[in-house]
Amino acid sequence: MALRLAGALLLAACAPAFCQSDDLAVGKLLVASRDLGDPNFSQTVILLVRYDEDQGAVGLVVNKRTDVPIQKLFQDLKEAKGRTDPVYIGGPVELNTVMALLKTSSKPEGAAKVFGDVYLIASRELLTQTLASKAEAAVFHTYVGYAGWGAGQLEHEVDLGAWHIMRADAATVFHADPDSVWPRLIQRTESQIARVSTLTYTLQRP
């Protein structure tokens, strides 16, 4: 029984609902819990693009698409002319800041790897170069603003249950229907919670 119970606890530790703040890292997704009441983050999915326990964290909301096309955001850039793919709201902080995510098999010079073959573009020069390369909308998203936390803030929120931590994948980050991303992930999370809870209860019974 002790061995079986240990196995149940191990499963619980790996389930999204049981993730602790030490699971936080660049390339992880934060899935807002149903109880998260902050209107800035309600029903959001955030990709962590920078994380440091001592300096805080930066993330981009990947499921808030706007009706504003890239060409309108960058009216002064000839490279953006004709780009009708939409801009995303990356978060409530510094809405005059623009960053982008690009999925590519070769690392762009000056870009920061987030996970797999997905890179963060944080400079205007690199953004201009990427637009000039005609990167397709299916692998290139532009974000205005970002989500930011000071040292210890995000860890505290995770420990309070505000966020579920999941491993990121490109299909989620660049999903063609961003409105479906949070409902799908939260349902997956809750299903895993239910399975682990049932298994734990079963193995704890005498």
Provide the 3-class DSSP secondary structure of residue 184: helix
CB 21: neighbour CB atoms within 10 A? 15
| Residue 129, token pair as written in the block | 């170069």
- Decide: 146 and 95 in contact? Cβ < 8 Å: no
CA distances in angstroms from 131 to 81, 84, 120, listed in the order given: 9, 12, 14
Report pLDDT for 193: 60
Q: What is the mean pLDDT of each run of 10 residues along the chain (206 residues)?
A: 34 45 90 92 97 95 97 95 97 95 95 97 95 95 98 94 95 97 92 55 51
Domains of the chain: 2-204 (3.40.1740.10)
- pLDDT for 190 equals 79
CA–CA distance from 45 to each of 40, 116, 131 (Å)?
11, 18, 25
* Structure confidence at residue 93 (pLDDT): 95
CA distance 186 to 183: 5
User: How much is the pLDDT for 7?
Assistant: 35
How many other C-beta atoms lie within 10 A of the C-beta of residue 186?
A: 18
- Tell me what pLDDT residue 206 has: 59
Output phi, psi for 142, to 5 deg.
Answer: -110, 140
Classify the C-alpha dihedral 84-179-115-121 as positive or negative: positive
